[in-house]
Structure 1
Amino acid sequence: MFPTVEQCVSCVQVCLDLTGLYIPIYLVRLDERNSKLVILAGEEIEVAIALDKEWVFLE
């Protein structure tokens, strides 16, 4: 299973925004259960990117 092009573009944008604020990115992973890209960054930041490239902060 691979991420969509839209997910990849959103992932790069989110990663650029995070690293621009000097927040380290620890993990980028495709969750095969729901096809979302998940980014773990900083101390408590979790971002999920859906198939339609919409991203949200997870709590």
Structure 2
Amino acid sequence: MPTADQGVICITLCQSLTNSFMPIFVIRLDERTGNVFILAGDNIEIEIYRNGRWRFL
């Protein structure tokens, strides 16, 4: 189950991506690490950690 911090950041990032007309293809919770993964646009990969911090991959 994603954390509340992950949920807020995920929605914020998805809104920013769609405002830039980037399609979002995958949003997935990695059950091994607990991180949320977003695949969008041509090659945009984002990982959101359990504490709400995120980074481009």
Q: Percent identity?
A: 44
Q: CA separation in 2, counterparts of 1:51 and 1:44?
A: 23
TM-score normalised by structure 2 residue count: 0.97
Gaps of 5+ in 2: none
For 1:33 and 1:18, how far apart are their aligned partners in 2? 26
Number of positions where the alignment pairs a residue of Structure 1 with one of Structure 2: 57
Q: 4+ runs of 1 displaced by more than 2 Å?
A: none
* Alignment RMSD: 0.4
Gaps of 5+ in 1: none
